[in-house]
Amino acid sequence: MEAAYASRAASLQTLDLSPGYASLGERFVELRDPTPLPAPYPVAFNPDVAALIGLDPEQGSRPEFLRLAAGNARFGAVQSFAAIYAGHQFGTFVPQLGDGRAITLGEVRTPGGQRFEWQIKGGGPTAFSRFGDGRAVLRSTIREYLCSEAMAALGIPTTRALAIAGSDAPVFREVPETSAVLTRIAPSHLRFGTFELFHYRGEFDAVKILADYAIEAFYPELLAIAHAGDRYASFFRTIVERTARLMAHWQAVGFAHGVMNTDNMSILGLTLDYGPFGFLDVFDPAFICNHTDAGGRYAFARQPTIGLWNCKALAEALSSLISSDDANSALAAYQPAFRTEYLELLRAKFGLSGARDEDVNLYSSCFDALTAGRVDHTIFFRALSSLGRTSSPYDDRVAELFENRSEWYDWQRAYRTRLESEPRDDATRHAAMRAANPKYVLRNYLAQQAIAAAEQRDYSELERLAGVLRRPFDEQPERETYAAPPPDWAREISVSCSS
């Protein structure tokens, strides 16, 4: 099997590359070469993502790959580019943004016909850098590399990370840091804000060009819809529903994005642009992972609402293509899509094979108990995955997670009553629950430990942690410490938009 794969895998020279999105013309992009990274060296390489795009993973060790990963080369005649877009940032419209430090080197087409943009982040200034240096720091590239791969392993739609190239060249943020370049991969990095830019400029023909490009490239099933208005309405509705389902996945796993601006929202329903993200430690609906979000606009519990708000902003941006009735009909599908997906995910987390109306109250009362008891979200659900129908000494270990144990005892009685009608035996149910409740997530303190080691040119912890996160549902007894709650010093970790 490996030999068969090797015969199909491409080298850097034989990848099927094209300009992709840049073929729409300079109205949509700035043609721009990256700024070379001084004296680059390899920090990380992801063979899984190499295989995803049809690249032979052995290519990652070639000097030519390092030059591409560092932004010191491009793919021959394929012109690299930065995309222009706008966006609502913290609710305020900014009429022009764009790839200020991201440069796309081209689009890879796999033998199976899949499209993947090969983009580097930190490749130097572009026309959209807004006086920035266009660089990324090692800290932020490691965080995005780890989290995008952690999310993929959790089954959550996301951009992917192929590699990190580092350099000792200094970059000045709050303090001097070393620079790095992240190579990230996605079918497309098109954003809600891309459509907003041309809508608010009154360039409605460009909005149509964008929509036609997106439909042909990523929603080809919609081409069968003969009437253009219906086709664009279905396009928008699909984005709305994908966004709703993405929000459900974030909420179920306890992930907070931190900067849900419309320029960070993918038209493919991908988790895009990892900056001040965070997974819940103690369950807290008001959790704010971004210390610059003083008003809590993007607090954990608000994410589904913000997802809908952003879809409404996209509806306005598409108003030259779809009627208000069609837009409202699509937006009305958001809450049902979110609720259906979220309840299905919760049923799996709680180990229930069927749905009952009263289950919603069971879930809600559990989250109330977790909030009041300041219980670790990930540890609790993993522990719940071993709870039997009848009492056992294991109950005490779960109860120890709660500051107020009486709330736990009240809830678990109701839960066990519900389990009486569960047709599966405990062993079967527990296995299913462990497949839905990860033992390992990327807590900020774990990322910080990998960053601290990498800043000393030791990438072994980065590699170990990435390996753990690729198997989040497995027990991995040799890596048990990675499932521990955060230590006291982790309270001092602060992430912001510069992260």
User: What is the distance between the alpha carbons of residues 437 and 433, in angstroms, rounded to a whole number?
Assistant: 6
What's the DSSP call for residue 96?
-
User: What is the distance between the alpha carbons of residues 33 and 104, in angstroms, rounded to a whole number?
Assistant: 9
Report yes or no: 256 and 303 within 8 Å, Cβ to Cβ.
yes
Report yes or no: 108 and 115 within 8 Å, Cβ to Cβ.
yes
User: Which residue type occupies 232?
Assistant: Y
Q: H helices of 219-358, where?
A: 228-253, 303-317, 324-332, 334-350
Residue 206 structure tokens: 């460009």
Residue 354 structure tokens: 């069927």
- In the chain, the largest separation of any two C-alpha atoms, in whole Å, equals 68
User: Which residue type occupies 255?
Assistant: F
User: What is the distance between the alpha carbons of residues 327 and 322, in angstroms, rounded to a whole number?
Assistant: 7
What's the DSSP call for residue 238?
H
Spot the catalytic one: 48, 99, 133, 263.
263
Question: Can 263 be counted among the known catalytic residues?
Answer: yes
What's the DSSP call for residue 134?
-
Q: What are phi and psi of 87, to 5 degrees?
A: 165, 155
Positions annotated as catalytic residues are: 263
